[in-house]
Structures are given as structure tokens and as C-alpha cells.
Structure 1
Amino acid sequence: MSEQGTEMEIIHLLRRVTVEFGLRQAEFAARHGMHPTDVRALVCLLDAERGGTGFTAGRLGAELGLNSAGTTSLIDRLERLGHLTRTRDPEDGRRVLLGVTPQAVELGWAAFGPMIGSAVALLRGFDPGEVAAVRRFLHGFHAAVSEPGRE
């Protein structure tokens, strides 16, 4: 296979993975009375928690490309379902921070834990150079698809 063919094969494999993962997320959302955007919101909040940063409604809406009304609706729905908490920021009482409930984390691990476990096991079979190459590729590809103006 030519160099161009190998590169495109990897791009197509990545696309297949993202499509399949998107389908699993949509199935999870439907099974638990959510919209696929609700799942994306929970992922954003979990990433923020892992990074040690607070997440406000405004930041969540911006991250998801939602207007204020859509963001409020999403937050209310996730709170009603028991997946989201709102707490006052201890450093600035005017701000309300969003968080993910332990119930939502448990649901997510039940659904996605096996595939995450498989991916971790796969990565453990790679040598440090291979892991570094995978990390570099995924960070670079994420930057490419995250650039403003991409359609």
C-alpha cells in the first residue's frame, strides 16, 4: 500500500471508530431518557472535573454550541434525571458550578467501561514509543478538527 494509502486507511479507521462510538453514545442516551447532546455535556463536565476546573452554564453552552435557552433546558433535564448538580462556587458565590453525580458516573462506567477496558488493555501492549506516537497523532488530529471555521 502506498504512503498516501496507509495515511488514508488510518483516517478512515479513525472515522469508523468515531462513528461507532457516536452510535454507542446515542444508544446510551436513548436508553436513559437523554439526548445525545446530554451525553456530550456530561463528558465535558467529567473532563473539567478531571482537569480540576469549574464549569459554569455559560461555559457548557459555549462548549456545546448551544444558546442560553438550550443550555438551560439541557441542565434542567440532566438535573431532573439525577445526573447533574449545581453548587455555588466557594470562591465566588455569584457563580454556579455544574458537576456530574455519582449516579451518572456509575451509569457511564456500566455502559462504556468494557470498551474503555479493552482500549486500556490494547495500549498496555504498546511500547512507550508507540504510545507516544498514538498520543501525538490524536492530539494533532484533535487540534485539526477543533480549528475554528472547519465545516
Structure 2
Amino acid sequence: MNDNLELVHLLRAVTVEFGLRQAEFAARNSMHSTDVRALICLLDAARAEEAATAGLLGTRLGLNSAGTTAVIDRLERLGHVKRIRDEYDRRRVLLRVEPEAVRLGWEFFGPLIERVVGVLDGFDVDERDTIRRFLTGVLAATDTTTP
């Protein structure tokens, strides 16, 4: 098999495994898999210091406004997300992941994250830069909004 295709197949296997873990987390916590992806998007936005709005979430998940509202409503009912008014623009509603949802996520995904970090610890700085460049390129290649 072509060396490049072998890497593509390994990457696919990793994404399948991550998807299975997300589905298991969703099932254990009475959530839909889209709810888990929504929480990930909101946590990523918080890490990037982006305003987490329904519009941002809908765009990232590829949902229309009704679908986005349904996801937010489910997450709010479960106590995982809270709607809060933007302190700078009171007309805008922001979404915040609640601490209990973060705790549940770390409880479930923490050991996996620690194992992955352990694998990365086996690579030197230049190798991690190469991995980062590869994953960034793959992420860009999956972007269907650009030709």
C-alpha cells in the first residue's frame, strides 16, 4: 500500500475511534452525538476567546437556526450550557458550558487525553511541529467551503 494512503487509513481509524468514544459519552449522559459536538465547539470557542453565539455554533455544526436552537435547548435542559447576556452588547446572547459539563467531560475523556499526551511526549519539538503541520493541513483539506 502507498505510504501516504497508509497514513490516511490510520487517520481515518483514529477519527472512527474518537467518534466511538464521543458516541459512548453521549449515550452515558443521555445526549445526542450532535450535543457532544456542540459542547466541543463551545469549549473550542472559549479556548480561542471567541464569542460563543448560536450563530457560531450553527455554522460550526452545519445546522440551521431551528436545529441549533434544539441543540442549545437540549443542552440547557441537561444543565450543560447556559445562555447569558453579553455584558458589552445586551442584545446578544452568549453560550457558556457549565462547570459540571466540563467535569463530566474530563472524567470520561481525561484518561484518553492523558494517553494521547503521553504518546506526544515521545516526540521531540520538531516532530511535534511536523505532526501539527500535518493535522492543520488535513483540517484545511476537509474544509468544504473552499475549492
Instruction: Report TM bin, short chain.
Output: over 0.9
Q: Which of 102, 107, 111 pairs up with 1:114? A: 111
Are 2:82 and 1:66 aligned? no
Separation in 2 of the partners of 1:146 and 1:29?
25
Residue in 1 that maps onto 2:135: 138
The normalised TM-score by structure 2 is: 0.96
Partners of 1:7 and 1:110 in 2: CA distance: 35
Verify: 1:40 aligned to 2:73, yes or no.
no
Give the Cα–Cα distance (whole angstroms) in 2 for the partners of residues 25 and 18 of structure 1: 10
Q: 1:28 aligns with which of 25, 28, 33?
A: 25
SS of 1:146's partner is: coil
Residue 66 of structure 1 deviates from its aligned partner by 1.1
Identity of matched residues, %: 62
Gaps of 5+ in 1: none
TM-score where L is the length of structure 1? 0.93
Q: Which runs of 5+ in 2 are unaligned?
A: none
1:147 positional shift: 3.0
The yes-or-no answer on 1:19 pairing with 2:12 is no
Q: Secondary structure at the match of 1:85?
A: strand
Number of aligned residue pairs: 147
Match of 2:98 in 1: 101
1:123 aligns with 2:108: no
Give the Cα separation in 2 of the matches to 1:125 and 1:147.
33
Q: CA shift at 1:100, angstroms? A: 0.4
Q: Are residues 1:87 and 2:107 paired?
A: no
1:79-126 alpha-carbon deviations (Å, 9 max, x no partner): 010100111101100000001011000111111111100111111111
Counterpart Cα distance in 2 of 1:73 and 1:136: 36
Give the structure 1 partner of residue 3 of structure 2: 6
